[in-house]
Amino acid sequence: MDGAAYQRALGRELRRLRLRRKWTRAQLVQRLPGELSAQALASYETGTRSCTVVRFVELCGALDASPHDLLERVHRRLMNEEFPATLRVDLHRLAADDRPELVPARRWAAAEVGRHATAVRELDYAALESLSALCGLPVLELIRMLRSEPE
């Protein structure tokens, strides 16, 4: 898991909770038991700085939020981003992709384009598993490759 992405997602969730209460950063800082500047809180919310577990629990307490529930929401959101229910694949782009690992996927995409299929296809996890097996790649690696541009 990408630690920086986790930090940003955690920050977004903290910010969302603060804004739901219609509090400024200064108002939230006033509710904390320890010293914290509004700038430090802003750096937590943007994910540019990580907070300690103790600070995280203090923030959750001030926001009247369960640390466990907040972490669970963050984790669920990140898993949905990393492992989406479906992945949108541009068949024309895949058919033109020259990475050797994707040869079976390229052939499939070219055949689909040749039979005048829609240019974009939503692939569910089962389809991604099948395609990754054809390519001899782990599913996550296939997803990463399909999301990235060929070099």
CATH code, domain carrying 31: 1.10.260.40
Q: How confident is the model at residue 148 (pLDDT cuts 50, 70, 90)?
A: confident
- Predicted pLDDT of residue 62: 97
Q: How confident is the model at residue 10 (pLDDT cuts 50, 70, 90)?
A: very high
Please say which residue of 35, 66, 82 terminates a domain: 82
Please say which residue of 82, 108, 131 terminates a domain: 82
- Rounded distance between C-alpha atoms, residue 61 and residue 36, angstroms: 15
106-129: average pLDDT: 88
- 30: pLDDT strictly greater than 80: yes
- Rounded distance between C-alpha atoms, residue 96 and residue 81, angstroms: 26
How many domains are there within the chain? 2
- Rounded distance between C-alpha atoms, residue 138 and residue 132, angstroms: 6
Residues 92, 104 share a domain:
yes
Statement: the pTM of the whole predicted model exceeds 0.75: no
Residues 127, 98 share a domain:
yes
- 125: pLDDT strictly greater than 90: no
Q: How confident is the model at residue 82 (pLDDT cuts 50, 70, 90)?
A: low
Q: How confident is the model at residue 79 (pLDDT cuts 50, 70, 90)?
A: confident
Residues 132, 74 share a domain:
no
Question: What ranges make up the beta strands (E) of 1-151?
Answer: 86-90, 120-124
Strand-pair category, 86-90 with 120-124: antiparallel
Residues 56, 12 share a domain:
yes
Scan for tokens 């389809």, then name that residue: 127
27-40: average pLDDT: 95
Residues 57, 10 share a domain:
yes
**Quick one: which of 83, 96, 94, 78 has its CA closest to 139?**
83
Mean pLDDT of the chain: 91
Please say which residue of 48, 82, 116 terminates a domain: 82
- 45: pLDDT strictly greater than 80: yes
Residues 67, 33 share a domain:
yes
Residues 74, 13 share a domain:
yes
Domain holding 128, by residue range, is 86-147
- Predicted pLDDT of residue 83: 62
Residues 104, 58 share a domain:
no
Residues 33, 99 share a domain:
no
- Predicted pLDDT of residue 122: 87
